[in-house]
Amino acid sequence: MLRPLLKSAARRYMDVTLRAGARNVRIVERPGAWMPPGALSDLSADLRHVAARTLTGALTYGVFSGDADVMKDVVITVVYGADGTPVAFNALAIMQVQTRPRPREVLHLGLVMIDPDARQEGLGWVLYGLTCFLIFIRNQMRPLWVSNVTQVPAVVGMVSTVFSDVWPRPDGGRCPLQHLLLARAIMASHRPVFGVGKEAAFDESRFVIARAYTGGSDDLQKTWDVAPKHRDDSYNTFCADQLDYGRGDDLLQLGRMDTAAMRRFLAREVPRAARFRLLGAGALVALQRLVLPLIYWSDSKRDYGILRARA
């Protein structure tokens, strides 16, 4: 594990491979910005392979297209079997949302797919939390907004329990103003990120997107009976009350990734045997983003990128 992480520390973007039990996990940051066309095409093919094992239809939007411009603003996590076959993936989107007084960067939790044969292997913490944890470290542990669009009660509950200040949620009360303004900006300019068409109506009072499956994500729509449920039944009841599954509604969730959220992730979601490995990966990512700049700055005789030596 140490060798790929140390090699990645010299790169501008993450491209690391880790072990998670019997599986290999590859995390690739903004591949469209640096990956050769052939490698980018292979990565998209891995995602389509998992999608073909999961859905009867074909997805063509976003990361499945292999478009380099689209892949410049994503972080891809792919889980591979022992024979190198992809069995699961998560595609996080990095959105620049125009808000006042300055734009905000929002990490959209994006699309997660798992091969039916691997769904009982406990890959949820890898696909949802591992990448977020490393991005949080790379962001120098600054709080980062996250968004999520889903109709799956299990995912609604996971987002609500792991991240901070999440709205809406069963006990959320009144919508905070910051969440409302951010939701308006996301729905105005970033619908293609999660495959929602222009005609889909957004209910600001409940953060519900009506008829959400009309912008390329049509084959992702689930019935209530098929949608995976959360172990806490309050989230199941909440989704059943708020969403019309026959119409194809989605819930837009907004929250923050901060130190409290990462502490909850480590304590609740990560298997005990994997915690030290994950902390080691985080320490090496921190080496690149936090420690090395301080070392570079302390050397007044040499230039390091934009850090200039004193005259």
Q: Which domains does the chain have, with CATH numbers?
A: 1-142+271-311 (3.40.630), 157-255 (no CATH)
Residue 274 confidence (pLDDT): 59
Residue 85 confidence (pLDDT): 92
**Can you say whether the dihedral through the CA atoms of 5, 11, 14, 17 is positive or negative?**
negative
Residue 2 confidence (pLDDT): 46
Q: Residue 1, SS3? A: coil
Mean pLDDT for 122-139 is 78
Residue 310 confidence (pLDDT): 55
CB 156 within 8 A of CB 251: yes
CB 110 within 8 A of CB 56: no
More confident residue, 300 or 161: 161
What's the pLDDT band for 64 if we cut at 50, 70, 90? confident
What are the beta bridge partners of residue 202? 209
CB 182 within 8 A of CB 97: yes
Tokens of 79: 């889980």
> pTM value?
0.80
Tokens of 54: 């999961």
pLDDT digits (tens, 9 = 90+) for 219-241: 788 899 999 899 999 999 999 99
Residue 1 confidence (pLDDT): 46
Residue corresponding to tokens 């929602």 = 196
Residue 231: exposed, middle, or buried by beta-carbon count in 10 A (0-12, 13-18, 19+)? exposed
